[in-house]
Amino acid sequence: MDSTSTVSMLFLLSSFLLFIFLPFLCLLCTLSSKKRPTSSKAQSPPLPPGSMGYPYIGETFQLYSNNPNTFFALKQKKYGPIFKTHILGCPCIMVSSPEAAKFVLVTKPTSSKPGRSRASKERMLGPQAIFFQQGDYHARLRRLVLRAFMPDATRASVPWIEDVALRALRSWDGREINTFQEMKTYAFNVALLSIFGKDEISSIEELKKCYYTLEKGYNSMPVNVPGTLFHKSMKARQQLGQIVAKIISSRRQRNVEGRDLLGSFMESKEALTDDQIADNIIGVIFAARDTTASVLTWIVKYLGENPSILKAVTEEQEEVIREKEMAGGGDKTLTWADTKRMPFTSRVIQETMRVASILSFTFREAVEDVEYGGYLIPKGWKVLPLFRNIHHSADNFPEPEKFDPSRFEAAPKPNTFMPFGSGTHSCPGNELAKLEILVLLHHLATKYRWSLSGSDTGIQFGPFALPLNGLPLTFSFKTEK
């Protein structure tokens, strides 16, 4: 079967699964979203143009039965940068201009909130996790996460991130791997060290085992009956809470004040309950894995397809090594300062996030009637800024499909590059993600070569954009010159 057929089959499978889940999604959105209120005011602004599709189903199948980029592009071409639709049982307004995205994410932070996930997802990750919140509690959690993941807090973490990267690379040598799965493992290990430090090794393996079980049931039908994936996941979630509680208790008994995320959450003046800490720890693990792993997978693919860019990255990383050798001291371990001498590699990361657009869009929800561009965004409707459309607009980035890191030598136009979102709900862990990517790329480019296993070059969406089949590759250690 060729790659096009494989992608088509994946989307058909997604559509079939969606058909199973749709009644539950429709019920949730019907209960949580209010329809546009009727008004007798003659001057009330109209809804944006667009089509709502069939009752309840809306245009869900049109979106998920094909490449979603096709759906967005056709809608934008027909209706313009703001249009209405109905997906997953919810009335939605999609916006695809930088100005509209800013309006939704930044300019009016009190007029919209994160779209509610299925109740089952809140139960699985934890209802008090940061991405289910808004207002003062969300701001407080965000401050605590930033305190643990901002540059001042992560400077000293470079050596142990490097150790995790080297162990991962050594395990790939001479064999075919699923790149995305291996990158998930790498990102998972970095996340656990960032959250718990290096003193909780005895509990980490048990925690990993439980988390893998939880993850398998994350997108399963929410039927909590023994034997189902959902039931196994909920049981694993309960065990995860117990493991985190045990770690918290141990740290209190030892009177340890860690500079990791757990330490930030545990400060007495913050007065978070153990349940709040556990929900947010598990939520951060979930958020830290797939997105970072997706970016790394695409970087490896793009470097393999662009030899001149790979050569430039390799030369920059080898120059970092030469400068360390010239400085003397004999210590080859990477430092924070070394990662600041990688401007071209950093631009490769930026361009990867633009072209791949891991998060094609995000869900927000209007908490009051809002007017934008002469149109009404009704209270309770979902609002989706389309990041991929913005990143792939020729008005924002000339030749948008071309992989060209040099375009980031100058800052992009305002609100045209939002790989981590924007506003109060932008990703608070983006600095740590950039750091772990740079560290891995340093050793990958200078010590390893890789080749594509097979000929499939398609893209799959579920929910992140990924190279087909997780990008199977064969890695090998470079021989000494």
Would you report the helix, strand and coil content of the chain in percent, each value rounded to 5? 60, 10, 30
**Domains detected in the chain:** 1-114+359-391 (3.30.43.20)
pLDDT in tens, 106-153: 766 545 555 544 566 777 888 888 777 777 888 888 888 888 888 877
pLDDT at 44: 82
169-202 core/surface letters (b: 16 or more CB in 10 A; e: else): beebeeeebebbebbbbbbbbbbbbbbbbeebee
Q: What is the C-alpha to C-alpha distance for residues 244 and 252, in angstroms, rounded to an integer?
A: 12
pLDDT at 42: 52
pLDDT at 352: 97
Phi, psi values for residue 357, rounded to 5°: 45, 70
* pLDDT tens across the length of the chain (481 residues): 444 333 333 333 344 344 444 444 444 444 444 444 444 445 789 999 999 988 878 888 888 766 777 888 899 999 999 999 998 778 999 999 999 988 888 766 545 555 544 566 777 888 888 777 777 888 888 888 888 888 877 888 899 999 999 999 999 999 999 999 999 999 999 999 999 987 777 788 889 999 999 988 876 777 888 989 889 999 999 999 999 999 999 888 888 777 789 989 998 777 789 999 999 999 888 888 888 999 999 999 999 999 999 999 999 999 999 998 888 766 788 999 999 999 999 999 999 999 998 888 888 888 889 899 999 999 889 999 999 999 999 999 999 999 999 999 999 999 999 888 776 667 777 888 999 999 999 999 999 999 877 666 788 876 677 888 899 999 999 875 4
In the chain, the N- to C-terminal Cα span, in Å, equals: 41
pLDDT at 345: 98
427 is an annotated ligand-binding site residue: yes
3 state SS of 67: coil
pLDDT at 118: 53
- Cβ–Cβ under 8 Å, residues 468 and 460: yes
pLDDT at 454: 65
Q: Count Cα atoms within 13 angstroms, Cβ side, for 236.
A: 23
pLDDT at 480: 58
Q: Count Cα atoms within 13 angstroms, Cβ side, for 256.
A: 17
Query: Where would I find the beta strands (DSSP E) of 26-161?
Result: 82-87, 90-95, 112-114
What pTM was estimated for this model as a whole? 0.85
Kindly tell me the burial class for residue 218, based on how many C-beta atoms sit within 10 Å of its own C-beta (0-12, 13-18, 19 or more). Answer: middle
Placement of tokens 């329809």 in the chain: 35
